Structure 1
């Protein structure tokens, strides 16, 4: 009975964005082509997702490594904490051995997303999964039959375990068999292309935009990604409905210095995609994967994003395959956030105790969600706009963020309805599961929110 109630809740909450020709008018279907969830913490490891209840900061801190465990082989950790994937693997290799480091990461990859997880995603009306990947998925070593240890070209103390193409194909096949489509998303480039643990090299300084040889290597990563897609069997290729060339490029780096360098490189990377996949590919224009061009306000203004899009894409490309992808998080939205800390947020979590207070919270959430992408609809002619990351977090410290069910429900339903009403092309929750995230799990795990376990 409990399992039936949990599944009923999942289906009810996700029905707002369920895609079904028999229940939604065509314009609504078109606006909701990608109903998705991220697979964060799987092939791209971020420290805070493995903090095991010992830390609650969502934002990484250069003076405090928050990574604690890496199950199944290191369920209790290794006696010292770690910052990001490169630091984790380097510390395992240094303390134990290179071979054991590979074994730990491979065991994690094989165990993290189960067949039961995929079945639950399908039952909850998810149509697409977004797979964050590091550059180590598209290097020459990735074409080998077994994963191997490689070193970041700019940081000798940051090491990574390659993701073999055979393994990646096998996972895409699993989703294909379940009727789920895949968005392949490169989250990190050699040397580090953003501040943050997802860059792979945190807390070291990102070097990608300062080194022409690294950016050239980045071009080869993009070419390898395109070739990987083009060489897939027809059926698997059809299941790749989206590609992101780089997540949050130059995030939290000096805008004046890095914006022109980043946008110049990104335009070149887009041209590689255009020539190889769109113009030189095997598919017609209708079936080419949408290119989710992810940009972030910490690296450029909204107006600069619009200007970049109109300078980079033709009207036909904007209509057919170029998607402007902007993340939206209430956790860093000072005008619409909520917490348990007195007078520091737009609303207090305790306000939900009264009907009037809860209505006020719902209004704040609606306002924040409705304004999430409004600039791009109001001030430009960009037909395809997406949000490939959002969550239920009301604050950037999970212990201080709201965790009452009524507020979480308001966050979920308010964002879902707003994304639909705005006409977003896609919306992806971050993330499917976070079983080792401690307090983070409440607002960042879709599986947990839907009552389907950790």
Structure 2
């Protein structure tokens, strides 16, 4: 069995004023006015004493609904459409799906049902990425070099020039406006991200699963076993507090994610017949290179350093504590809620970019950590409850994945485990493949947008990649393609945007995954 799960954007803004680049920093007085206005309109969704450094999560209707969450629009945003979420047409130019040109939801829905795409990922909700909030000034589909592309964080932050990652954004907000405002800004963003209508649309379009990427601070209280004064002074069920990264303790700070957010979401998903995949998307100190690691562009230290707190312990140990805490939390859920959890990923893209830039991790160390984390899962009750383990392995972490990671996978896990509770999670992007990408730039990619040969190249790449995955991993391996894309080029402005071609690209990728058994 191989599962194909698409990735969507978040916070798609129709209003062209969102995320516009500002030459000045918003003043304290303006922020006070925004907070006051938000309270009057019911948009500040936190409770807390004035001057406090914590807030209590309050379930509330979304402020900025994912109005483009119809299937038709999922594929016209961020990586799919080669555009950042806020780089859509102005409000007066969009059709009923939020994009011009008569895009038909049923067309995309039909392709999904024909080829068996099962889920969607709420990337960027509980683990921030700068380029997803870059506005009309975003230039890259995933930022590759400083400064960051982040320009805003709706609904409160309209102008935050060039923020790069969540930890550094919170630090900037703390320094500029105080801890209380930093918490309110993050809280308002989280509360406004997804609405019940969005979940209705996900279910109505025939999807069955929702992948939920999480920052490690969702389970920061696990570190209280070692650092009670730093990570054990809040109620993990309800409180949002600011905690430091345990290595970059002076440079990166995070707002904890209350368990109540997860419980509310899982309950709402279950009511609609949706299952949830919980994915720990980053780690203390940074375990990948890129905006989603939480500390970018600082150096990822997870694999090679100890904490800068007392006592000093390896960051990898903290990662295991976090994985263990998530597993124990799931085990403690009421049976009805626990049945809505389809799987867990204990680390997303471990070591991403390690093999393509200055190395920051020993390849063997990465695999050893994954084996230990998997053993925590193996010894839990989750395998017996049909909650699967998704093992994320990415080729950018290894000089030769086929010779290093794949043989390790087959040595470490028995055939029975690989056929039952273990799923190899792979990601596939044509935009970063020089033999498969397409753009409007002459000579910059393998084909130019609109060329007659573009469809042949795209289809050949998709079917070739799927066939290669199957040959490398073997016929018995369960494979999940948890991220794939309709973006054709790494630079937003030069990516192909013809809707007919993007529908074709969606169809051939899903068809390729289906041919190799990448579905149930």
Q: TM range, normalised to the smaller chain?
A: 0.7 to 0.9
- The correspondence for 1:361, drawn from 451, 454, 461, is 454
Cα drift, residue 61 of structure 1: 3.8
**2:353 corresponds to:** 252
Q: Does 1:10 align with 2:114?
A: no
Summarize deviations over 1:285-332 as a string: whole Å, max 9, x none.
xx4212111111111213423212111111111111111111000111
The reply on whether 1:218 has 2:319 as its aligned counterpart is yes
Rounded Cα–Cα distance in structure 1 between residues aligned with 2:350 and 2:204: 34
1:146 aligned onto 2:239: yes
Residue 87, structure 1, aligned to residue 168, structure 2: yes
Say if 1:256 and 1:399 are closer, same or farther in 2 by CA, change over 3 A. closer
Q: Is the 8 A contact 2:331 2:382 kept in 1?
A: no
Where 1:150 maps in the other structure, the secondary structure is: strand
* 1:8-46 deviations in Å (ceiling 9; x for gaps): 93233233443xxxxx9xxx9xxx5x7111101111110
TM-score (norm 2): 0.73
Do the aligned partners of 2:244 and 2:253 also contact (CA within 8 Å) in 1? Answer: yes
Partner of 2:205: 124
Question: Are residue 348 (structure 1) and residue 465 (structure 2) matched?
Answer: no
- Match among 302, 320, 326 for residue 402 of structure 2: 302
Report the alpha carbon displacement of residue 225 of structure 1 after superposing the two structures with TM.
0.7
User: Within 2, Cα distance between the matches of 1:395 and 1:404?
Assistant: 13
The alpha-carbon deviation at position 142 of structure 1 amounts to: 6.4
Which residue of the partner structure matches residue 324 of structure 1?
424
- Would you say 1:54 and 2:137 are equivalent positions? yes
2:379 to 271, 275, 287: 275
Aligned to 2:340: 239
- SS at structure 2 position matched to 1:375: helix
SS of the residue 1:195 aligns to = coil
Q: How far apart are the structure 2 equivalents of 1:4 and 1:48?
A: 22
Closer, same or farther: CA 4–297 of 1 in aligned 2, 3 Å: closer
- Give the TM-score taking structure 1 as reference length: 0.83
Q: Which of 398, 411, 416 pairs up with 2:492?
A: 398
Relative distance call for 1:176 and 1:144 in structure 2 (3 A) is closer
Mind listing any 5+ residue stretches in structure 1 that lack a counterpart?
A: 19-23, 352-356, 427-454
Distance 1:88 1:294 in 2: 27
Could you tell me which of 286, 293, 310 is aligned with 2:391? 293
Q: How many residues align structurally?
A: 398
Matched, 1:313 2:413: yes
Residues 313 and 67 (structure 1), Cα distance of their counterparts in 2 relative to 1, 3 Å cut: same
1:435 matched residue in structure 2:
none
CA contact 1:193–1:207 (8 Å) conserved in 2 = yes
Partner residue in 2 for 1:438:
none
Shift of 1:125: 1.3
Q: Return the offset for 1:160.
A: 0.5
SS in 2 for 1:60: coil
Q: Which residue among 501, 507, 519 is the counterpart of 1:413? A: 507
Say if 1:271 and 1:227 are closer, same or farther in 2 by CA, change over 3 A. Answer: same
1:292 alignment partner, SS class: strand
Higher helix share goes to which structure?
A: 1
Query: Is residue 2:296 matched to residue 1:202?
Result: yes
**Counterpart Cα distance in 1 of 2:468 and 2:144:** 31
Mapped to 2, the partners of 1:277 and 1:99 lie a distance apart of: 40
Kept in 1, the 8 Å contact 2:303–2:361? The answer is no
Aligned to 1:273, the other structure's residue is in SS state: helix
How much does 1:234 deviate? 1.0
Could you give the per-residue CA deviations for residues 114-153 of structure 1, whole angstroms, max 9, x where no partner exists? Answer: 1121111112211111111011001215624211110001
Alignment of 1:105 with 2:203, yes or no, is no
Q: RMSD value over aligned CA atoms?
A: 2.2
CA distance in structure 2 between the aligned counterparts of 1:299 and 1:372, rounded to whole angstroms: 18
Whole-Å separation in 1 of the counterparts to 2:500 and 2:455:
10
**Contact kept? 2:300, 2:360, Cα under 8 Å:** no
Q: For residues 253-310 of structure 1, what are the alpha-carbon distances to aligned partners after superposition, in whole Å with 9 as ceiling and x for unaligned?
A: 246952111101111001011112346xxxx3xx421211111111121342321211
Match status 1:227 vs 2:328 = yes
Shift of 1:241: 0.4
Report the equivalent of 1:370.
Answer: 463
CA distance in 2 between partners of 1:14 and 1:415 (Å): 15
